[in-house]
């Protein structure tokens, strides 16, 4: 990598290292029970909300009740967002007269935003009204992120409590996430974004005269307020079709770096929250280290591949070395103001989390460079993953790793002093198999079905990569697109929508079941037969288990797609 790339990676790592303990400690107090920072400021508002929805904040829930609450909230969110899109032509704040969204697109979008996926099978500025963007998309950006954090916190409680029948109150966790975490950070960051040039108005568009003598419409809208939470909540849906490559969404290199920080800050900080609530900072550092190593490795790889450029162009005598007149590297599909390094870092951040934002065209990356974001998603969004989903995904892998370690060395498989037994391992297997099954089954059908194959613009290995990327992005609730695939047909909008719902709720329910099972157990004091889970050795084991499980699952698809394409160069 170039010195500039190394400097940016070090700077970003330093910011994350500084933010993690501060925000993580704050969230541990917010969800730890008892007095919390901001009680005097946020408490009155929260009590009004509890009275309006009929919730007793002092009454905790069994895991089944917690799960039903999360599912009920999500189902109502899907229906509400679907309805808003279908009737937007009759609603106010529609300055350009947007018509109702087509049923299949409305379903796909509703499933997408409620599941924290934010896959977009439409062009935002020409499909959604301002009211739909604000009341529908922006609200769900907050809500889906809050649900993910609530489930992660419930799992942490299940791991640390002793002989408990409850894992918290979903409505309290949801409300506190809104009022004390997401809204305050988003409010401050939105002001910064607007000051840096990100658009924030209610204009339907501005007609201007171009230098060539023609006219052009400059679109407006409530962008900065949505842009912040799309990143902070690891959502990813862009107000404009070009997403974070659009100069109105991401105007400068400073904003680009700030967007990456917003994407990573909560997922990494939740590891500190876990360590604090578990009263074992070492346990939190183990999870943080595993996430960070996977993310940093992916960032270094994709930046290196993209800065290396396309070997076919080198063979033709084209210079791809950075100089005073060019950014250097593979610049196809990238913005000059970000270059290969800024684009690569952004790509690693958004695909290592469940963030569908993009500031470059992943479809235009080199084959090996494009394989990195695909593998990031195949890991299950755990490097560092989405808000909440990253932590509970990594903790599920930790349960698997400690169980395997116990079998290998003959020690008791325990995490935080609690034995890992067949009941928990069955739930872990359901968690690990659900998403790969959805991805591989839908991809297999798509590559043999004539109408689905007709949507592929680039046949051969690259076309297979485009299909696998689409379903991997949907099922892992990422939302980014590889491009080169017409995903607006009824087949893709419906099946990717189903993949999003499966990837969210077929994982969330086993996680809450694990939380309930572990909460009921009495931890045992460590003994000579206990396998330690707070050491660098366990960090290495955890990373190894993740790579082996994901490799065994997806290597054939990767070998037939980006790997064979890359070797062909």
Read off the pLDDT of residues 345-356 as tens digits, 9 standing for 90 and up.
999 999 999 888
Gap between the Cα atoms of 159 and 305, Å rounded:
40
Q: In sequence order, what are the residues at sequence separation of 6 or more whose Cβ sits closer than 8 angstroms to the Cβ of residue 250?
A: 198, 244, 256, 259, 359
Q: Which tokens in the block code for residue 325?
A: 């007149």
The per-residue pLDDT for 324 is 64
Read off the pLDDT of residues 79-136 as tens digits, 9 standing for 90 and up.
999 999 999 989 888 888 889 998 988 999 999 999 999 888 877 777 888 899 899 8
Percent of the chain with pLDDT strictly greater than 90? 58
Number of domains in the chain: 1
Q: Is residue 249 scored above 70 in pLDDT?
A: yes
Read off the pLDDT of residues 209-221 as tens digits, 9 standing for 90 and up.
888 888 887 788 8
- Cβ neighbour number for residue 72 with a 10 Å cutoff: 11
The per-residue pLDDT for 287 is 96
Q: Which tokens in the block code for residue 340?
A: 């290969």
Task: Average the pLDDT over 20-29 and give the result.
Answer: 95
Report which secondary-structure segment, H or E, holds 277. Answer: helix 253-277
- Cβ neighbour number for residue 475 with a 10 Å cutoff: 32
Gap between the Cα atoms of 27 and 49, Å rounded:
20
Q: In sequence order, what are the residues at sequence separation of 6 or more whose Cβ sits closer than 8 angstroms to the Cβ of residue 14?
A: none
Task: Average the pLDDT over 24-28 and give the result.
Answer: 95
CA angle 514, 519, 523 (to 5 degrees): 115
Strand partners, 530: 412
Q: Is residue 285 scored above 90 in pLDDT?
A: yes
Q: In sequence order, what are the residues at sequence separation of 6 or more whose Cβ sits closer than 8 angstroms to the Cβ of residue 129?
A: 88, 91, 93, 94, 95, 96, 98
Q: Is residue 326 scored above 80 in pLDDT?
A: no
The upper half-sphere exposure of residue 109, i.e. CA atoms within 13 Å in the direction of its Cβ, equals 28
pTM equals 0.93
If one compares 31 and 316, the residue with the highest pLDDT of the two is 31
Tell which residue, 144, 343, 347, has the closest CA to residue 229: 144
Least confident of 319-323, 338-342, 368-372, 561-565: 319-323
Domain span including residue 541: 3-208+216-568
Q: Is residue 289 scored above 90 in pLDDT?
A: yes
Read off the pLDDT of residues 154-211 as tens digits, 9 standing for 90 and up.
999 999 999 999 999 999 999 999 999 999 999 999 999 999 989 888 887 788 888 8
Q: Is residue 1 scored above 70 in pLDDT?
A: no
The per-residue pLDDT for 86 is 94
Best mean pLDDT range from 51-55, 94-98, 221-225, 244-248: 51-55
Task: Average the pLDDT over 476-489 and give the result.
Answer: 85
Best mean pLDDT range from 122-136, 263-277, 362-376: 263-277
Gap between the Cα atoms of 62 and 169, Å rounded:
9
The per-residue pLDDT for 241 is 77
Taking a C-beta distance cutoff of 8 angstroms, is the pair 478, 450 a contact? no
* Cα torsion angle, 252, 255, 257, 263, sign: negative
Read off the pLDDT of residues 394-451 as tens digits, 9 standing for 90 and up.
999 999 999 998 888 777 788 888 999 999 999 999 999 999 999 999 999 999 998 8
């Amino acid at each position: 990598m170039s010195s500039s790339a190394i400097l940016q990676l070090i700077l970003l790592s330093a910011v994350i290292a500084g933010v993690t303990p501060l925000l993580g400690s704050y969230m541990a107090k917010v969800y730890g029970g008892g007095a919390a920072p901001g009680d005097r400021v946020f408490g009155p508002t929260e009590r009004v909300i509890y009275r309006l929805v009929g919730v007793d904040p002092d009454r905790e829930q069994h895991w089944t009740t917690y799960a039903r609450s999360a599912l009920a909230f999500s189902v109502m969110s899907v229906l509400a967002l679907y309805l808003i899109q279908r009737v937007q032509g009759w609603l106010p704040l529609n300055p350009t007269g947007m018509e109702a969204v087509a049923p299949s697109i409305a379903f796909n979008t509703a499933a997408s935003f409620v599941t924290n996926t934010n896959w977009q099978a439409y062009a935002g500025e020409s499909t959604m009204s301002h009211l739909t963007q604000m009341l529908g998309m922006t609200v769900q950006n907050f809500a889906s992120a809050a649900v993910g954090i609530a489930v992660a916190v419930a799992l942490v409680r299940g791991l640390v409590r002793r002989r408990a029948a409850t894992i918290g109150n979903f409505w309290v966790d949801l409300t506190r996430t809104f009022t004390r975490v997401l809204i305050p950070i988003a409010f401050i960051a939105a002001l910064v974004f607007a000051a840096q040039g990100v658009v924030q108005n209610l204009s339907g568009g501005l007609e201007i005269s171009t230098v060539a003598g023609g006219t052009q419409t400059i679109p407006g809208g409530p962008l900065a307020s949505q842009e912040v939470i799309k990143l902070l909540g690891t959502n990813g849906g862009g107000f404009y079709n070009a997403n974070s490559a659009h100069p109105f969404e991401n105007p400068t290199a400073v904003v680009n770096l700030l967007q990456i920080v917003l994407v990573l800050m909560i997922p990494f900080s939740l590891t500190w929250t876990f360590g604090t609530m578990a009263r074992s900072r070492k346990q939190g550092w183990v999870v943080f280290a595993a996430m960070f190593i996977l993310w940093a490795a992916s960032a270094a790889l994709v930046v290196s591949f993209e800065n290396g450029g396309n070997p076919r162009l080198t063979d033709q005598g084209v210079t791809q070395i950075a100089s005073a007149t060019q950014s250097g590297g593979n610049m196809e599909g990238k913005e000059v103001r970000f270059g290969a390094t800024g684009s690569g870092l952004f790509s690693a951040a958004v695909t290592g989390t469940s963030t569908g934002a993009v500031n470059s065209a992943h479809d235009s990356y080199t084959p090996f460079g494009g394989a990195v974001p695909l593998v990031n998603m195949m890991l299950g969004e755990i490097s560092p993953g989405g808000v909440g989903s990253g932590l509970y995904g990594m903790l599920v892998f930790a349960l698997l790793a400690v169980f395997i370690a116990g079998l290998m060395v003959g020690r008791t498989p325990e995490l935080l002093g609690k034995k890992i037994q067949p009941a928990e391992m069955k739930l872990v297997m359901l968690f690990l198999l659900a998403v790969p099954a959805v991805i591989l089954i839908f991809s297999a059908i798509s590559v043999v079905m004539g109408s689905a194959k007709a949507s592929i613009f680039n046949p051969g290995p690259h076309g297979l990569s485009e299909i696998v990327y689409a379903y991997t992005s949907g099922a892992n609730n990422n939302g980014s697109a590889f491009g080169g695939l017409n995903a607006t047909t009824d087949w893709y909008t419906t099946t990717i929508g189903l993949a999003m719902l499966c990837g969210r709720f077929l994982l969330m329910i086993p996680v809450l079941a694990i939380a309930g099972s572990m909460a009921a157990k009495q931890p045992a004091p460590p003994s000579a037969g206990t396998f330690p889970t707070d050491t660098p050795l366990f960090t290495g084991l955890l990373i190894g288990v993740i790579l082996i499980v994901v490799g065994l699952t997806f290597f054939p698809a990767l070998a037939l797609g980006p790997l064979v394409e890359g070797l062909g160069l």
